[in-house]
Amino acid sequence: MVTLHRAPSWKIAIYGRDHRIPHFHIEGKGWRCSVSIATLEPIIGNPPKDVLAAASGWASQRQAELMRTWRELNP
């Protein structure tokens, strides 16, 4: 697992040996959400709307980096 961003109450991470389409995880205390790297839409989970907006804003500026990291961890 690689943590790419930390906010006060949540983080963005990508896991190795993961499955499905390329995605990252937004994780907070007691919840977790998978988000498509290509579309920035949630795949699984329902994070707080403000967290999803902040994480999507961060990710939209770094989609190429997210995809590189996904491919390195999930060859």
Instruction: Note the pLDDT of residue 20.
Output: 82
What pLDDT digit, counting tens, does each position of 14-56 carry? Answer: 999 888 899 999 999 999 999 999 999 999 999 999 999 999 9
Question: How many whole angstroms separate alpha carbon 21 and alpha carbon 5?
Answer: 20
Instruction: Note the pLDDT of residue 26.
Output: 98
pTM: 0.92
**Amino acid of residue 2:** V
Query: Measured over all CA atoms, what is the biggest interatomic distance in the chain, rounded to whole angstroms?
Result: 32
Do 15 and 73 form a contact (C-beta atoms < 8 A)? yes
Say whether 2 sits in a helix, a strand or coil: strand
Instruction: Give the residues across from 26 on adjacent strands.
Output: 12, 33
pLDDT at residue 65 is higher than 90: yes
